[in-house]
Structure 1
Amino acid sequence: MKLHLRIVQARQEKGLTQEELAELAGVSARTIQRIESGDSVPRNFTVKAIATALDQSFEQLMREEPVPHFAQTAPVLDDQHFLRMLNLSCFSYMIIPYVHFLIPRHVLKSEPILNRETGLFARKLIREQVSWVVIFHLSLILTLAYNLIVVKMFGNRHLVVSYLWPFFIMYLVNAVIISLNAVRIKNNFKSLNTSNGLLNVG
């Protein structure tokens, strides 16, 4: 088990939150978050402080334990399942298009045990949804501006564009984006499993 996973496990066994562990160890909550997600490799003195806060020795926390071969498939399968659920949560834009990206963001924050590649891909999915919200609003604003100009300059209401057009077009575009991401998730993990000699997931 890797160091960041042992820290997560030890913290949960102690019944501590990330904020409580950070306070006991004398580091920032952001530092604990980055360490537990695997985004940051802590220095020895940071590991010692965390070990003391968790009532463990430095050696205990740094010890690498052998992982059985059958357990090596779990992270791959778990990460794929997580990304699938995160991607599906993006469909919440159909109900709350203005702040729907907060849902996948919450899903990401509630899953501290992720490898670096999975975390980066998850953040990319959320950034795409934030970008979609911005473009969605811009399309509505541009439609409004066009309609105002047409009515004021030409007085022809027949040239006015219905707001339903940008609305439905943007909804369709996001459905395509999410569907393409679902295909990428499936293909990327299939390639990973094949290269590692593991069972393909479909």
Structure 2
Amino acid sequence: MFSSSHIVAIRKEKGFSQEVLAERSGISLRTIQRVERGETIPRGHTLLALATALEVAIEDFQPAPVPTQGQAPASSPPELRSDPQFLQILNLSALSFLLFPLLNILFPVVLWRARKRTVQDVGEVGRRVVGFQILWQVGSVCLYLLAVAVHLVGGISAKSTLPVSLLSILFTTYAVNVGAICYYAFRLRQGHLDIYPVRL
């Protein structure tokens, strides 16, 4: 027998939104919503696709057996609470790169792992924030290396302008990152979780 409450609990424990589960499983969002409301019972391909997307066995969708006398009830997944303020803090923690490089990756990862079993959607937001910060970090390093290579090839006259080029890259990349973080903080405040579409 299938338990709709179990799939909801497992999805939230994984940190997936309904949209993300639909994307990972290849099942329409409307079908996901009907399954979670108990309006339809998934079978065959749909049931297998949900189990694969959530990385669990099909048996995990079954309700827990009724405990017999002297048998302790099976523990259920913890209930995840909605905390938009923490999601904002998770995103804004990436601004720590202004203090020291790589903190923009370290701080979000620490916050993400600390609340992944208690806060709803923290897994999805955490992956998006960290993915974008890794992309920004790699992109910035590549720009610095490219600037150095261009000036080395350009000879002595070009080398004299290298510090200016490096400072220009520094200010530009920092401005882009700050702007992106602030923009998606605004998106999160509006309830949108589809932040940082371009990321690793």
Same fold, TM-score > 0.5, yes or no: yes
Does the 8 Å contact 1:140/1:166 carry over to 2?
yes
Q: Tell me whether 1:56 sits opposite 2:72 in the alignment.
A: yes
Which residue of 1 is the match for residue 142 of structure 2? 138
Does the 8 Å contact 1:87/1:178 carry over to 2?
yes
Which residue of 2 is the match for residue 91 of structure 1? 95
From 114, 122, 128, the equivalent of 2:126 is 122
Work out the CA distance in 1 between the residues paired with 2:137 and 2:173. Answer: 9
Deviation at 1:170, TM superposition (A): 0.7
Which residue of 2 is the match for residue 170 of structure 1? 173
User: Structure 2 regions of 5+ residues with no counterpart?
Assistant: 17-53, 193-200
Work out the CA distance in 2 between the residues paired with 1:4 and 1:46. Answer: 6
Work out the CA distance in 2 between the residues paired with 1:45 and 1:158. Answer: 65
Spell out, residue by residue over 1:127-175, the C-alpha distance to the aligned partner (whole angstroms, 9 max, x if none). Answer: 00111110111111111111111116xx454554521111111111100
Q: Which amino acid aligns with 2:104?
A: H
Q: Cα gap change, 1:157/1:140 in structure 2, threshold over 3 Å: closer, same or farther?
A: closer
Percent sequence identity is: 23
Deviation at 1:122, TM superposition (A): 2.4
Query: RCO (CA 8 Å, sep 6+): is it higher in 1 or 2?
Result: 2
Give the match's secondary structure for 2:155: helix
User: Structure 1 regions of 5+ residues with no counterpart?
Assistant: 8-33, 66-73, 190-202
Q: Report matched runs for 1:176-191 at 5 Å.
A: 176-188=179-191
Q: Cα gap change, 1:177/1:56 in structure 2, threshold over 3 Å: closer, same or farther?
A: farther
Does the 8 Å contact 1:90/1:104 carry over to 2?
yes
Does the 8 Å contact 1:37/1:113 carry over to 2?
no
Spell out, residue by residue over 1:4-37, the C-alpha distance to the aligned partner (whole angstroms, 9 max, x if none). Answer: 9999xxxxxxxxxxxxxxxxxxxxxxxxxx8844
Aligned residues, how many? 142
Q: Report matched runs for 1:142-157 at 5 Å.
A: 142-151=146-155, 155-157=157-159
Spell out, residue by residue over 1:83-128, the C-alpha distance to the aligned partner (whole angstroms, 9 max, x if none). Answer: 111011101111221353011011000002233x442122111100
Q: Tell me whether 1:105 sits opposite 2:109 in the alignment.
A: yes
Deviation at 1:61, TM superposition (A): 3.8
RMSD: 3.7
Q: Which amino acid aligns with 1:167?
A: L
Work out the CA distance in 2 between the residues paired with 1:87 and 1:35. Answer: 19
Does the 8 Å contact 1:143/1:161 carry over to 2?
no
Q: Cα gap change, 1:129/1:183 in structure 2, threshold over 3 Å: closer, same or farther?
A: same
> Runs of 4 or more off by more than 3 Å in structure 1?
2-7, 34-48, 155-161
Q: With the length of structure 1 as denominator, give the TM-score of the two structures.
A: 0.56
